[in-house]
Chains A and B, each alone.
Chain A
Amino acid sequence: MLIAFAVAATVAVAATALMVSSRHPVHALLDLILSLLAVAVIFYLLGAPLAAALEVIVYAGAIMVLFLFVVMLLDLGRVAEEAQAALEPRALRVPVLLAAVLIAEVMSLLVQAPSGAGGRQVGAAAVGGALFGPYLIAVELAALLLLAGLVAAVHVGRREDAGDTRGSGS
């Protein structure tokens, strides 16, 4: 268990360092996804399977795809030329190695303990009970926050009208 934690932590730190030092945004995104997946493995090892699943689904899935969309939108002009260089096997060697280590670790964990890593597990039922019990008001506030974020994103991200390049801010 401790060895599994050390391996996942190493992968997380290495992937994050690669992300910070990466020059190409798509490479950085892939490194960041790798880091998030490693943290998901650590959540699983800590006995938090729901947090691990949500880390994969929401963080590595939804939020990172949002990033990828924007990166692709911004790099429209350069993508054609850089796509060749970005997909060179040499540039992807270290991240692929880290991902392989992570996959091997998850496989070995599943073989050793298919029903969950040791220690006390706090499952989805307990979290859901707390979420809709004492934290109910916070859940409602999170819903409001997400709605406000949606409205603000639509407002800020709207296309300027032709001729109104200064943006009146309204």
Chain B
Amino acid sequence: MSGAVPMSWALLLALVLFALGLIGLLVRRNLVFILMSIEVMLNAAGLAFVAAGARWGEPDGQVMFLFILAVAAAEVAIGLALVLQMWRRFGDVDADLTGRRDGG
């Protein structure tokens, strides 16, 4: 019990997690992996909010985290529906396929 965690550490962790998610988003072509990377990035944003809220002992950070949670849930539902639809049409979930539909 050696005092509270400094906010800069938590923000640094949020930055690293966000960067990792961004790398995954840019590098991977599988849409399921892209959605998972977006989850990591949203989670890192939530971590930054909670860290900032904890720094001043206010509940607002956690409130914002709850809203990020709701946004992530809605985003995942629609994203996974799109992935399912793409799987039915193309038989694959490669992000590069979306530009070539019907020879377009």
Chain A residues engaging chain B, CB cutoff 8 angstroms: 1-2, 5, 9, 12-13, 16-17, 19-20, 25, 28-29, 32, 35-36, 39, 42-43, 45-48, 50-51, 54-55, 58-59, 62-63, 66-67, 70-71, 73-74, 112-113, 117-120, 122, 126-127, 129-131, 135, 138, 142, 145-146, 148-150, 152-154, 156-157, 159-160, 165, 167
Contact = CB atoms under 8 A, between A and B. Distances in A.
A28 B50 contact: no
A72 to B, nearest CB: 11
Contact of A74 (B47, B70, B75, B87): B87
A74 B91 CA distance: 9
B86 to A, nearest CB: 10
A14 to B, nearest CB: 10
B69 A67 contact: no
What's the interface size class on B, roughly? 35 or more
Contacts of A71: 32
5 contacts: A2-B5, A35-B17, A42-B47, A67-B35, A153-B80
A156 B13 contact: no
B85 interface: yes
Interface string B48-65: 001101100111111101
State the main secondary structure of chain B at its contact with A. helix
State the main secondary structure of chain A at its contact with B. helix
A1 B74 CA distance: 35
A20 B37 contact: yes
Contacts, number: 189
B59 A142 contact: no
B81 A156 contact: yes
Interface of B: 1-5, 9-10, 13, 16-17, 20-21, 23-24, 27-28, 30, 32-33, 35-37, 39-40, 43, 46-47, 50-51, 53-54, 57-63, 65-67, 69-78, 80-85, 87-89, 93
Q: Which 8 A-B pairs have the closest CB atoms?
A: A149-B74, A119-B4, A157-B81, A20-B24, A153-B77, A156-B81, A46-B54, A126-B59
